[in-house]
Structure 1
Amino acid sequence: MNISNVFHLLSAHWPWGLSGALAGIWLVPLARTIPQYVLHSARAPREEWLGPGGGLEQPVPRARRIWLPAVNAMLWVYIASTTGNPAFWNTLTTAAVSSLLVLLALIDWDTTLLPDWIVLPLGIAGLVGSYAGFTPHNLPAGAASAVVVMGLLGGLSRVFKRIRGESGIGGGDIKLLAGLATWWGVVSILHVVLLASVMTVVWYLLWLRFKGMNRQAEWPFGPAIVIAALAWCL
């Protein structure tokens, strides 16, 4: 896509771009407020939940306040330019899901948390969307997709834990993938898992090589899942 096409999309769908930018501005504080609330409710020490983003003790990077609204705006514009009829509701639904995924990626990057009270409603919304015709499949297929993904990845995680003594994938990641399966089905999610796995390995090695990481920090899988899901399914 060249520059002229980008300007054409922005001019043709500027209300969605503006709305996406405003939503992106709100995502910045939400990515800190939500995990703070979750950890406070669980009486968990904030300093122990540390991802590559530095945890909740570090200030929000200034660059995030710029690139996040811009990325969210471009997501909404792209979705508006590709969504079929009924255009408004399909666009609004897909755009909202995309922004929620971006929010989860930020939270996971900073804290390695994927809060249930965002992930679970995302899956419920996928079932509602399946019933309303916003997804490629019907409600029974959407529910079955979530069950298959949950069972398959949960089973593999248990086997891996018995062999290696640690889980190969976190419970929050499995719930997120099961929730995404209600929107896009089993086959798409398996492609997402494969793409995210490769991306995570490459990302991790590059990050260690050029940025380094706190020894107490853990590497999250959620951001790669989100990027792979948006790239594959949108």
Structure 2
Amino acid sequence: MYYPLYLDLYTFVLGCVIGSFLNVCIYRIPEGLSIVRPASRCPNCGQAILWYQNVPILSWLLLRGRCARCAVPISARYPLVEALTGILFWLVFHAFGLQWATPVYWIFTAALVVITFIDLDHQIIPNAISLPGILVGFVCSIAIPWISWTDSLLGILLGGGSLYLVAAVYRLLTGKDGMGMGDVKLLAMLGAFLGWQAVLPVIFFASLIGSLVGVPLMILRRADSKLAIPFGPFLALSAHIYLFWGTAIIRWYLTFFR
């Protein structure tokens, strides 16, 4: 469906602004800090960042990636997160248009961005996001016509239960933890937002992508079988693949093997 160009621009800019706030969450949540106070400041010199120095993407470019006061480099990941969130918001809008599903999946994608980068940095998936996310996904299922509350509830049970079973069996066989409970709670959250139908495809996509990334990394690290690779980012990526293209991929798969 065609939408005016200003709506495209609005959704992208909105996503970038939200992405700026997500950067705060990514940094502060693992440290146990408030995401509201104090205002954003340079971690090196402590100088508060003025509003015109905090415009998503543009301020980083105009400041050439450095603090305006002490000139210490500012990570390029800040504008990357802002741009990524803007693109995801735009994709959600074009996938679902002017309906209640759009703000629901904006919340969903924002949560997954935070989870992805925290898991990459700290190899944890914070309960502060995944547990409320399960509840929010279940409640918001009433706003999504193609997902009933029973689909969402079954998604929570199947998502969390399936990974918990895998983790329990792995520990029983090896005596070691092969998967954290954070991944279990994350998949339960994905099931809440996407329904039980998404659980197996998301696990399949995540396992496939994880293998394609993990095996070469292990080879480069001299076959270090103990190399810890967080699974959360693969689950988050796979959830987005299913959200935007899952139905088309499954239809192609069934047609290909018919």
TM-score normalised over the length of structure 2: 0.70
Alpha-carbon distance in 2 for matches of 1:78, 1:148: 27
- Structure 1's 129 and 60: CA in aligned 2 closer, same or farther, altered over 3 A? farther
- Structure 1's 148 and 106: CA in aligned 2 closer, same or farther, altered over 3 A? same
Give the Å deviation of 1:16.
0.8
Q: 1:107 aligns with which of 118, 125, 129?
A: 118
Alpha-carbon distance in 2 for matches of 1:169, 1:188: 20
1:175 maps to what in 2? Answer: 185
- Matched letter for residue 108 of structure 2: V
What's the secondary structure of 1:13's corresponding residue?
Answer: helix
Alpha-carbon distance in 1 for matches of 2:182, 2:91: 28
Alpha-carbon distance in 1 for matches of 2:135, 2:216: 36
Alpha-carbon distance in 2 for matches of 1:216, 1:196: 19
Give the Å deviation of 1:219.
1.7
From the two aligned structures, give the one with the greater helix fraction.
1
Which range moved further: 73-82 or 144-153? 144-153
2:48 maps to what in 1? Answer: none
1:49 maps to what in 2? Answer: none
2:235 maps to what in 1? Answer: 225
Asked whether 1:35 is paired with 2:48, we answer: no
Asked whether 1:120 is paired with 2:131, we answer: yes
Q: Is the 8 A contact 2:158 2:199 kept in 1?
A: no
- Structure 1's 207 and 32: CA in aligned 2 closer, same or farther, altered over 3 A? farther
2:86 maps to what in 1? Answer: 73
Asked whether 1:83 is paired with 2:96, we answer: yes
Alpha-carbon distance in 2 for matches of 1:150, 1:179: 8
Which is higher, the Rg of structure 1 or of structure 2? 2
Q: 1:190 aligns with which of 191, 196, 200?
A: 200
Asked whether 1:157 is paired with 2:167, we answer: yes
Q: 1:24 aligns with which of 19, 22, 36?
A: 19
What's the secondary structure of 2:230's corresponding residue?
Answer: coil
Q: Which has the higher contact order (CA 8 A, sep 6+)?
A: 1
TM-score normalised over the length of structure 1: 0.77
Which range moved further: 198-207 or 90-99? 198-207
Identical residues among aligned pairs (%): 24
- Matched letter for residue 79 of structure 1: V
- Structure 1's 202 and 94: CA in aligned 2 closer, same or farther, altered over 3 A? same
State the aligned residue count.
Answer: 203
Q: Is the 8 A contact 1:114 1:172 kept in 2?
A: yes
Give the Å deviation of 1:206.
3.7
Alpha-carbon distance in 2 for matches of 1:135, 1:118: 25
Give the Å deviation of 1:136.
2.4
Alpha-carbon distance in 2 for matches of 1:187, 1:168: 25
Alpha-carbon distance in 2 for matches of 1:217, 1:60: 30
Alpha-carbon distance in 1 for matches of 2:158, 2:73: 38
Alpha-carbon distance in 1 for matches of 2:238, 2:169: 25
- Structure 1: give runs of 5+ residues left out of the alignment: 1-7, 39-58
Alpha-carbon distance in 1 for matches of 2:228, 2:74: 19
